[in-house]
Amino acid sequence: MGTYEEKLSILSEMIAFARVDHSMKRSEYEFLLKVASNLGIDKETFDGLLKHRSPKITLKSQAERIVQFHRLLLLMNIDREQHKSEVNTLYNIGLKMGLPPVAIGQVLEVMHRYPDNVVPPEVLIDIFKAHYN
């Protein structure tokens, strides 16, 4: 995984996304804290990101962008609520990442077929692979 600054940027983007509905639920905070831990970011640094965003760094590889899109998808569904603003924001984030619009739409459509809207990683990867061939 990328540099420390890239990891902070990933978390900042996720925190901003969690706040699209103007609040952050406990389940979202706990999920984000686990992501931070997996990225090697300590709780104190993570809590600092809640107050001050890290500079945005564009992820270089397509694989990293797909993984980040998947994290955001999981975050959106962690509270088992979906708001139109969250879905629209996630779609737009995917576009800004340079992901294919049709693949993004397909992921957002098929997620309803899985328990808790959690798209298995292999399904997500297959969807994006189909649009790159």
How confident is the model over 93-124, as pLDDT tens digits? 999 999 999 999 999 999 989 888 889 999 99
Tokens of 130: 């189909």
Instruction: Read off the pLDDT of each residue in 69-96 and give the average, rounded to a whole number.
Output: 88
Domain count within the chain: 1
Tokens of 96: 């800004």
Model confidence band, residue 72 (pLDDT cutoffs 50, 70, 90): very high
Model confidence band, residue 68 (pLDDT cutoffs 50, 70, 90): very high
Using CA atoms, how far apart are residues 70 and 63, in angstroms rounded to an integer? Answer: 11
Structural domain boundaries, residue 85: 4-132
Provide the pLDDT for residue 65: 93
- What is the pTM for the complete model shown? 0.88
Name the residue type at position 45: T
Q: What is the CATH number of the domain that holds 20?
A: 1.10.3680
